[in-house]
Amino acid sequence: MSASVRDVAKRAGVSVGTVSNVLNHPEKVSAATVKRVKTAIQDLGFVRNDAARQLRAGKSRSIGLVVLDLANPFFTDLGRGVEARADLAGLTVLVGNSAEDAQRERRYLDQFEQQRLQGILLTPRGEAVDRLVHLREQGIAVVLVDREAGESGFSSVAVDDEAGGMLAAKHLLEIGRRRIAYVAGPTAIRQVSDRLRGLNSATANSGASVEVIEVPALSLACGRRAGDEIAARPESERPDAIFAANDLLAIGLLQGLMSGRVAVPEDIAIIGYDDIEFASAAVIPLSSIRQPAYAMGESAFDLLIDEANALSRGEVPVPRRVVFEPELVVRNSTRP
């Protein structure tokens, strides 16, 4: 049977309240008493029950992060930014991977609510406003990440994806491409549809055509299959440029096209989105639209803590939106 706080107090010859102060507010206790209590803790092998403590206090020392795809290095970098800020604040980060599945996303939100986390950072699969309102009513802060909140009443951190789509399209037009394919993941994902909107806006009066190829997921494997399909077409039916909704799709497309003996960029130019580390290391270095993932994670954490503090004071959080500007990074996959 594990030792209790009472066991520690008895061993150290102090009250239970003194042990509690040593664990939570050591500055209130003399150095000699702190040393005596810590010696008793070590001798007895006492481990504090944080779960029980959080239930009594009604507040956890953890936050949740739910992202669309942990296999995507963009979300890994974003998570590193969140974790760096959380570590400085003495908080831990619990990570959930929705895998672009709305039901799986809902299960993570349910679990994090049950654990009474201080807050949740969410990259939503679709629209989840009602669920998020419920979480806030339970005292759990919520901030959307890599997704603008619009008029939902929540804070958000995102990149201007419509502007990113326009950057990609304008670059392809500038290098003389006029038959552009947009290889997208599910268009129910807002980022995917926003990037397409930017593409359409930039090409509207250019004389260029836009073909949308929707694939099941924003993954390397789906990009590879799309590349195989495009390479198998007669040359006259192929696009002369591809804008991929993210870099994983773009790298998969590159593999599929090259295996089908399609030259990149001579026959088909490719540009991705995110500028993950692998983009510059691809066999043909990949042009991309850069998102500052790490900085987005840091900003999202700061907004979340501000909202959590407001809720703890009984205030209604004032929504704030941080929007980063995308950046065009040109490499060999689109160089003439």
For 120-131, how does the pLDDT look when each residue is reduced to its tens digit (9 = 90+)? Answer: 999 988 777 788
For the residues 302-327, what does the mean pLDDT come to? 92
Q: What is the dihedral of CA 23, 24, 27, 29, to 10 degrees?
A: -50
- pLDDT for 179 equals 98
Q: What's the chain's average pLDDT?
A: 91
> Angle 73-88/293-312 helices, nearest 10 degrees?
50
Spatial contact of 331 and 294, defined as CB atoms under 8 Å apart: no
Phi–psi pair at 309, nearest 5 degrees? -65, -40
* Half-sphere exposure in the Cβ direction for 42 (13 Å, CA): 6
Rounded distance, CA 172 to CA 181, Å?
11
Q: Note the helical H segments in the chain.
A: 5-12, 16-24, 31-44, 50-57, 73-88, 102-114, 129-137, 161-174, 190-203, 220-231, 247-259, 277-281, 293-312
Say how many residues make up the chain. 336
DSSP letters spanning 215-230: -SSSSHHHHHHHHHHH
46 versus 271: which is more confidently predicted?
A: 271
Rounded distance, CA 112 to CA 118, Å?
9
- pLDDT for 151 equals 67
pLDDT band at 50 (very low <50, low <70, confident <90, very high): low
- pLDDT for 195 equals 96
For the residues 207-235, what does the mean pLDDT come to? 96
Look-up of token digits 């997921």: 217
Rounded distance, CA 232 to CA 12, Å?
77
**pLDDT value at 54 more than 50:** no
- pLDDT for 48 equals 63
For the residues 58-74, what does the mean pLDDT come to? 87
**pLDDT value at 132 more than 90:** no
Alpha-carbon separation of residue 229 from 82, 155, 220, 237 (angstroms): 38, 40, 14, 11
Rounded distance, CA 304 to CA 15, Å?
37
- pLDDT for 125 equals 82
pTM: 0.77
pLDDT band at 303 (very low <50, low <70, confident <90, very high): very high
Spatial contact of 125 and 68, defined as CB atoms under 8 Å apart: yes
**pLDDT value at 49 more than 60:** no
Rounded distance, CA 4 to CA 41, Å?
9
Dig out the tokens for 261 from the structure: 């003996």
Phi–psi pair at 67, nearest 5 degrees? -120, 165
The three-state secondary structure class of 335 is: coil
Spatial contact of 100 and 316, defined as CB atoms under 8 Å apart: no
Alpha-carbon separation of residue 315 from 55, 265, 309, 310 (angstroms): 22, 55, 9, 5
Q: What H or E segment, with its residue span, contains residue 48?
A: none
Phi–psi pair at 30, nearest 5 degrees? -65, 155
For the residues 163-171, what does the mean pLDDT come to? 98
**pLDDT value at 14 more than 80:** yes
Angle in degrees, CA 151, 156, 161, rounded to 5: 85
For the residues 94-109, what does the mean pLDDT come to? 92
- Cis check: omega of the bond before 265, within 30 degrees of 0: yes
pLDDT band at 56 (very low <50, low <70, confident <90, very high): very low
20 versus 94: which is more confidently predicted?
A: 94
Number of H helices, E strands in the chain: 13, 12
Rounded distance, CA 177 to CA 187, Å?
24
Provide the 10 A C-beta neighbour count for residue 99.
15
Spatial contact of 307 and 119, defined as CB atoms under 8 Å apart: yes
